[in-house]
Structure formats: structure tokens, C-alpha cells
Structure 1
Amino acid sequence: MNLRSLLWNKFTLVVLLVALAAGGYLYWKKVHQPSLDERYKTQALEMGDVTQTVSANGTLNPVVLVNVGTQVSGTVKKLYVDFNGQVEKGQVLMELDPAVYQAQVDLSAASVNNARASLDLAQANEARARELFRKEYISRQELDQAVQALKSARAQVAQAQAQAQKDRTNLGYTQIHSPVSGVVVSRMVDVGQTVAASFQTPTLFTIAQDLSKMQIDSSFAEADIGNIKVGQQVRFTVDAFSNRTFHGTVKQRRLNPTTQQNVVTYDVVVAVDNPELILMPGMTAYVNIVVAQRKEVLLVPNAALRFRPADGSEKKNGKPKPKEGRKKSGGGTVYVLENGQLKPLSIVTGITDNKFTEVVSGDIKAGQQVVTEETVANENSGQASGGVRMRMF
């Protein structure tokens, strides 16, 4: 046997060994290929209720929150209330040092007495001038001057009385009274502190009129605001009571938009009852507004609408592969196992609670199994596990 024949025999042996290895691999792969039931996870369609909500964060506030200030400047002399104190309308909250204003009242009272004395003299002079004019001892001009002096004296009395009234009012302002009945939420002054009311009234106290009635001020995106209506039911939670859900209703949808970084939001006010007085001003509320509800409808898991085969198995039925789970608003595609293959079904969808979606129409029914995820990866036939394609000569 020559060298050429020996090489040919070795080459034939190698080819046979490779062919046997490839055949063995294909047989092993066929035997160990997982079934569709093992490869895909499914879930049965069920009838049930679905509620669609929109969410946002907000802040709890009293319905009426009054800032109490002062109209006069001075030094705080006494405080009669403190934080969380219950107050009645008209109750004295604090007192400024009245010494300066009391002195001004005394001064204006003296000015009134002086003006009245001048008025008495002017009245006597006017009466005397009329008698002398009647007897033709003085001229008309002198009589007119006496009359004018009397009118001026009366005006001075009125001016002095007005100034005295102003000074008495300012003296009264040294006692700060509560304009409403409620609870003192905050106090911004202390005894000995000087407050100045020169250009703007300073805030001394903040009083919540009724903490049993509160509201949530929240901001919703423009994409959600169209579904929000006055009177809709609201559920919300707060961090202080994380395991408890509170309820309210939409009170107002404000028209004024807020734009930040090209994001438009609208303020929504939610009315909240707080009979236990456990909700406090300033708490962050996580708000969910119910915008739609359906009773006893066919529900499909959202995972089924998001599912897409990893290897394009849906092409086996001759149907094009959809680009995404929710093809368009109100439509979607789900997959079922039929005759050993994946079969895509188009459906029309309704509202969703982000876990289940309402099925409005489509060729599916309750109890039918739909694919929600792929649990075992499928290897393409003809490709080795290492990713190297075998080629036969």
C-alpha cells in the first residue's frame, strides 16, 4: 500500500468519525429537547374585576390655614398660647409692650382737650361778633373772620378726635387676637423678641381652623389629568401609617399648569376626612385616583401581553412577527400552545391595573392558557453548543 492510499484511508476514517459525532449530537439534542410545556410558562385567563388608577405624590394640608400677624411694631411682652394649643375665635394669643402706644393715646387725648378749648373760644368770639355786627360796630369782613375761625376750630377738634381714635386702635393692636377657632400649628416668636411691621405684616402664629377636615395638594402629569374628574374616589397612604390605606375624593382640578423642565403638571386637590386626627399637616401622601372600573370581565395577565418568543417561533404559522407586545393603544397579542407550536392571537384590550388587562374582544376565553414567559432556552438545530457550525464534505 502506497502512501497516497494510506492518506486517503485516514481521511475517510476522520470523515466517518466526524459524521458519527454529528449524528450522535443531533440524536442527543432531539432526545433532550424540552417539550413546549417545559419550555414555556402559562397562566389561565380568568374572569374578575379590574380597577385602573393614576398615581402621584402630594402633601396633606389643613383646608383653612390662617397666618396671624401684627399691624404694629413692638416687643413681645406676653405669650398666652403655644404649639398645638386649642384657641377660640377672639382669644388673645400674645401681647406687645403697650407703653409707647399708651403714651401716644394720652398725648392725643390732650390734643383733643386743647382743640375743644379753642372751639369754645371761637364760639364765643363768633357770637360776640354777630352782636356787634347787628349794632353796626364792626364790618362784615370782621364777622366773616369770626365765623371762619369757628369752623376752623371745629375742624381741629374733629382732626384731634380722629388721631385719638387711631392711637387707641394701635394700642388695641398690641393685643393679638385669634381670627378663627382652631389649633396652633406653629409659633414664630418668643417673649422679648421685637417684631417690625414697617413694610410687611410679620407672621406670628399659624392656625389650622379644623384638622378633622384636610386636603391633599398633588400634581398630576398632563397625560393623566384628562381622566381625573371631580368626585372620583381616591386611595392614599402615608409613611407614618404604611400598612393603612386612607380614602378621599377629588375636590378640585385646577386649570393653572406648572411647567418644569418641559414637563407639564396640574394641581389636583383631594378632600380628606380626618376624624381620628392622626393625619398631620405636611405629611407626604401617595395618591391613587380611581379613573375606571370594570366588573366580571375577562382578564389577561400583562406578562402575557409583554411576552415575545426568543427564536421567532411564531413564524411557523406563516404570520409576521409583531414588533412589540402592545401593538397600539387598545390592542395586543398573546400566545397560546396549539398542536405543538406557539400560536399568536390578536385581542382588543381595555383598562389595566398594571397587573391584569381587560379583554374587550378576541378569540380567547376564560380558562384558556396563555404564555407568560419562556423558562428554558431553545437551541437552534444544526448549531453546536459552542456556537461552531459543523460542515460535512
Structure 2
Amino acid sequence: MIDKHDSARHPTLLAAAALVLALHADISFAQVSVPSPPKLETVTAQRGDLQQIVNATGKLQFRRYADVNVQVAGQIKDVLVAVGDAVKDGQLLMEISPAVRAQQVESSRAQMARLRAELADQQAQTDFAESQFKRQTQLKAQNATREESFESSRMNLSSARARMDSINAQIRQLEATLKADEESSLHKQVLAPLSGTVVALNARAGQTVSVGQAGAPLMRIADLSQMTVRARVAEVDVTRLKRGMTANFQTPGYPGRTWSGKLRQVIPVPAEGTGEQGKQTFYNVLFEVDNPEQELMSGMTTQVQFIVAQAKDAVLLPADLLGQRDAAGMYLLNVVDRDQRIVARKVKIGLRAGQQVQVLSGLAAGEQVLAGPAPTSALPPESDAPAGRP
């Protein structure tokens, strides 16, 4: 504090103090009188990838497999593989003791030899009967034989020919039986029809089997190097799918992992149990996935994403920033420039996926788009920018 006596003695000090007080008052007045600029809520346009997808659930199944059964009736002598074994095309899987024994084949061959001998003898008798009939025919033309002799020769020829036909029929029947018996003896070994893994086995040593028996196959061999995904797609989405498009999927057995394939086929009939009595219609969609390590197994559940369209390194914005589209297909946005001025900007939109859209033109990555209504005070007098979000 400055004493009044000091003030009298020091007028210069008093003047200086008054000047400081005056300046301080001016500064405080200036700070109070200048309003703060309005705070604008903005969203930054960013670069990223965008995908339009169709979601579906599905199951893994074998791409290639073959069921193994016997070609002859008999008894299984030995089974040489087990479930999980890898086999090669043509590898021996089982041995069969055919129901047809070798003695039966030999008996059929002996019977065949006898029938052929009878056929040869009958052929000779038929040739003789033909010559007799020709002679009687000539004599009858010359009225040199009796009618009874002529008729007798004709009947003998007919009988000989009938016996020939009978023997030939027996030979043909026995040939068919003998062929089947001989083939049975050759199919004592059951071989693998393809290379793969034994995934099912219903055969055991001592089991009696027959050709075309009902029930489960004796063995199933599958190629596990490639699996098929059978996905169920709703009818509202299936028309968006095309052959060759990328399909990704995950399975609960391998959290965090994704497999990919190419769509092979849309089966053009409803999936079983759908589309009836008011039920939603689904269609089965197939695609393959490589399985070199045989990690994927038949029956696993899959969550599938079919990629309908995608954009790489695109300029992205939240879809809720868009308003109504104009006649030219453009959208009007409020863009905030570096000087915090709001400028109207028309943009063209491409893909839409979820809550994001792709900006094709009119906006660059890093630019700020006004998210809320534009304050009136923030609009420049000469600007024709909209007062709020379109």
C-alpha cells in the first residue's frame, strides 16, 4: 500500500499505480466481451475396407468318398484296416471266402463237357436225319417211296433238331452259371476304390455277406484333403449369390481362425424341411475348402460369410450422416474446413454395409463432416450452406 505522505512526496509512483489499474481493467473488459466460438460435433472421413456379405450357417461334409461292399456272397476271412487308417487306391482291404466253392466250379465245368459231347452226338444224328429226309423227298417226287417212310423221315429230322435246341439251351444256362462262379472265385479280395482315410467300418472277420445287402456299407473311405461346406441360405439372400464368389467361414472348434473357398453351386430346390406350412425357405449352397492338415472334420458347424461386393482402401463414413438422395443420386453434407467454416458438399455414395458407406467422390479421407445441426452463428454470411444436416 502507498502511504498518503509517500504519495505527496512521490507523485510519480501514484501515477504509475493508476496506469496499471487502468490497463488491468481494460484487459478484463476485453476478455469478458469476446464470445467463445461454437463447438462443432464432427466425424472424420477415414480410409478402410468395406464388404457386403450374406451370412449363413452350415455343416462340413466329405467332398469325395466311396462306400465299399463285396461283389460276391461269402464270409469275411480278414479285415486288414481300421478306422482312421490312410489307404491307397487299389490297396487290399478285406479277404472273402466265397460261398461258391472250387468243387462247384469244377462240377459245372465237367457238366459243360458232357453237354458238349451230347451236342456233338446229337449233331451227327441230326445230320443223318437231314440226309434221310432229303432222300425220301427225292423218292417221293419220283413216286418211289411210301408216304409212311417220307413222314417218318420228316419227324425224325424235327425230333433231332429239337434235341439240338434243348442241349444248346442247357449249355447257355450252364455257361452263365459257370461265368458267375468263376468271377466269384476271382473276387476274393476287396480293394480300395480311391486313396483316402477309412472313416467308417462295419465289417468283421467271420461276418457273412451278400451282394447288394441292405444296411450300412461295410466300409467308407473319404478323401480328407478337401472338404465341402453345405450352407443354408435364406431365399431373400440366395439370389445375390453367384458362382465363383468368395466365401469365408469360421467354426467353433478353431476360435479366431478363418477358412476361405469359392462358391461352387446353389442347389435350385429348397433344403429339406423348409418352405412347408409357412416355414421360411432355405437353399443349400456348396463350396470347397482345402484341408491339407486334415484339421476340419465332417459334421463341424460353420458360420459362413459370402462376400457379395467389397471395396478396398475406400473413404468411409457412418451411414447415419446421410439424408435424402437428390434426383442425381447425390447426398448433401456439411463439411467443416480448417477455418471451422461450414461448407455444403455433394457426395456420391457406393457400397453400403452395416453402419458404414463408401464415398466415391466429393469427400477426401481426413475431412471433417458435421454430425449435428449447424449453429446459425457458424455459417458465413455469404454461404448458402444448409442450417442442419440434410
Give the TM-score taking structure 1 as reference length. Answer: 0.64
Residues 1:230 and 2:240 aligned together: no
SS of equivalent to 2:305? strand
The one-letter code matched in structure 1 to 2:303 is Y
Q: Distance in 2 between matches of 1:331 and 1:102?
A: 88
Partner of residue 258 from structure 2, selected from 245, 251, 258: 245
Q: Distance in 1 between matches of 2:268 and 2:185?
A: 44
Name the CA distance, whole Å, in 1 between partners of 2:208 and 2:321.
Answer: 67
Local SS of the residue matching 2:232: strand
Report the counterpart of residue 169 of structure 1 in structure 2: 183
What SS does structure 1 have at the residue aligned with 2:295?
coil
Query: Which one-letter code corresponds to 1:152 in the other structure?
Result: S
Conserved? CA contact 1:115–1:160, under 8 Å: no
**Cα distance in 1, alignment partners of residues 224 and 53 from structure 2:** 27
1:96 aligns with 2:109: no
Structure 1 residue 257: deviation in Å? 2.0
| 298, 306, 315: which one aligns with 1:281 | 298
Aligned-pair RMSD on alpha carbons? 4.2
Distance of 1:367 and 1:58 partners within structure 2: 42
2:233 is the alignment partner of 1:220: yes
* Contact map agreement 1:101 1:170 (CA 8 A) in 2: no
SS at match of 1:211: strand
Unaligned runs of 5+ in 1: 1-35, 307-321, 338-344, 373-393
Per-residue deviation, residues 186-210 of structure 1 (Å, max 9, x unmatched): 21222233335466475111122x4
Paired amino acid for 2:257: R
Deviation at 1:361, TM superposition (A): 8.2
Amino acid across the alignment from 2:243: V
Distance of aligned partners of 1:134 and 1:229 in 2 relative to their CA distance in 1, 3 Å threshold: closer
Q: Which residue of 1 aligns with 2:157?
A: 143
**1:181 aligns to what?**
195
Assess if the C-alpha contact under 8 Å between 2:59 and 2:301 holds in 1.
Answer: yes
Shift of 1:66: 1.4
TM-score, normalisation: structure 2: 0.65
Structure 2 CA distance for aligned equivalents of residues 289 and 198 of structure 1? 42
Would the aligned equivalents of 2:315 and 2:364 in 1 still touch at CA under 8 Å? no
What is the distance in 2 between the residues matched to 1:204 and 1:352? Answer: 53
Which region of structure 1 is more displaced relative to structure 2, 144-153 or 264-273? 144-153
Quick one: percent identity of the two aligned structures?
33
Q: 1:244 to 1:370 in 2, by over 3 A?
A: farther
Q: Which runs of 5+ in 2 are unaligned?
A: 1-37, 137-148, 337-344, 373-390
Counterpart in 2 of 1:204? 218
Cα distance between partner residues in 2 of 1:262 and 1:334: 44
Once the two structures are TM-superposed, the CA of residue 146 in structure 1 deviates from its matched residue by: 1.7
Partner residue of 2:55?
55
**Structure 1 segment 252-263 matched on structure 2, within 5 A:** 252-258=265-271, 259-260=274-275, 262-263=279-280
Contact 2:100 2:184 in 1 (8 A): no
For residues 81-92 of structure 1, the aligned pairs below 5 Å read 81-92=81-92
Matched position secondary structure for 2:224 = coil
Deviation, 1:164, is 0.8
Larger radius of gyration: 2
1:109, distance to aligned residue in structure 2 (A): 2.7
Q: Which residue of 1 aligns with 2:67?
A: 67
| Structure 1 contact 298–358 (Cα < 8 Å) conserved | yes
Q: How many residues align?
A: 312
